[in-house]
Amino acid sequence: MIETHGLTKQFGEFVAVNDINLNVAAGQVFAVLGPNGAGKTTTVRMLTSILKPTAGTARVAGFDVVRQSTQVRAAVGVLTEQHGLYERMRALEYLEFFGRVYSLSTDETRKRGLALMDRFGLTDALTKRLGEYSKGMKQKLALVRAMLHDPQVLLLDEPTSAMDPQSAKQVREAITDLRKDSRTVVLTTHNLTEAQLLADSIGVIRRGRMIASGSFEELAQRFVGDPVMHLALGSAINGTASLIGELAQITEEGPDWLRYRTPTPTQTNPAVIKRLVEHGASVVSLSPLQMNLEDVYLNIVEEDEVAHGHPMKGAKSS
């Protein structure tokens, strides 16, 4: 659904996006992470055919972003970083305007618009001028606008940034439903929990380059290492470490607990428990240490810093 090869964008001598290769299939949610100014918005704008790539190619919904820009824009729904509403208009009037732009009939626009407004809890605000909407409501209406013409591809820039937890949940559910409907979603966000929760695959952009991409598990494996297991014992650890050390690499230990790293937990864990039981140790629990995207992301960024000779201050290492 989205395919890019060597996508590059230069503004004068400044390279904003450098050699980005993407392949996002239908029904996938792809999260783009990266610091401010990394090139995320520029990439999205190229995928919307607003910016023309300096080099490389990109196809969105089967259309070339340079030669078939009108078709590309008809096939995508965009939630921009700023909601960009016309504040003197009312919601329905606003949606009807965009409906006409996307060649929808008035009936179709009203039907879809009202259903989406209802879904995001905006029905009560239908007659209000958009200038009177709260920030979160504006963001939700902008999302309704992006979804109005039922696009095959949605490019969402920080979709929940201004929302209260309940609204953010509504949006996350909507994105999950879009995935079920085989829609492709590209999500740029700073909210790592949200990205981990929603994305099938994740890309990290830094200084215009895609420095890492893959599923969360793949990235975790590559940048954080093998899974870490946490073992809690019923008594003091006395000698247990040496028993386990033969089976896995111990990373930390306390008075009655220890952690070990293993590439194959499904094989190692039963062997560890078996050995402990054989030696009379009482096992309270054995569980994988939860990794989150923040750890993975910071490791990715740190590795990139090291590769470029500028170690990042305050970066978390595991």
116 near another protein, judged by CB under 8 A: no
Q: Name which position in 4, 18, 28, 48 contacts another protein (CB under 8 A).
A: 48
Q: How far is the CB of 103 from another protein (least distance, A)?
A: 8
Q: Which stretch binds another protein (CB under 8 A): 21-29, 93-101, 242-250, 263-271?
A: 93-101
Q: How far is the CB of 113 from another protein (least distance, A)?
A: 15
Q: How far is the CB of 23 from another protein (least distance, A)?
A: 23
C-beta closer to another protein: residue 45 or 140:
45
C-beta closer to another protein: residue 86 or 317:
86
Rounded alpha-carbon distances, angstroms, from residue 106 to 70, 127, 148: 22, 17, 12
Q: Which stretch binds another protein (CB under 8 A): 69-77, 174-182, 220-228, 309-317?
A: 69-77
- DSSP conformational letter for 265: H
Q: How far apart are CA 120 and CA 177, in angstroms?
A: 13
Q: How far apart are CA 12 and CA 263, in angstroms?
A: 47
Q: How far apart are CA 122 and CA 136, in angstroms?
A: 11
CB 92 within 8 A of CB 126: yes
C-beta closer to another protein: residue 93 or 303:
93
> ∠190-193-195 over CA atoms, to 5°?
65
Q: Which stretch binds another protein (CB under 8 A): 77-85, 197-205, 232-240, 291-299?
A: 77-85
> ∠233-238-242 over CA atoms, to 5°?
95
Residues in the chain: 318
61 near another protein, judged by CB under 8 A: no
Q: Which stretch binds another protein (CB under 8 A): 73-81, 110-118, 182-190, 244-252?
A: 73-81
Contacts with another protein: how many residues (CB under 8 A)? 34
Smallest CA-to-CA distance from 113 within 95, 94, 88 is with 95
Q: How far is the CB of 153 from another protein (least distance, A)?
A: 12
CB 120 within 8 A of CB 143: yes
66 near another protein, judged by CB under 8 A: yes
Q: How far apart are CA 72 and CA 45, in angstroms?
A: 11
Per-residue string for binding with another protein, 268-287, x by CB under 8 A? --------------------
How far does the chain reach from its first CA to its final CA, in angstroms?
Answer: 36
CB 4 within 8 A of CB 22: yes
Contacts of 248 (CB under 8 A, 6+ apart): 229, 260, 261, 262, 268, 272
Q: Which stretch binds another protein (CB under 8 A): 95-103, 173-181, 183-191, 230-238?
A: 95-103
Per-residue string for binding with another protein, 2-41, x by CB under 8 A? ---------x------------------------------
Binding site for another protein (CB under 8 A): 11, 45, 48-52, 66-71, 73-74, 76, 78, 80-89, 97-98, 100-102, 142, 145
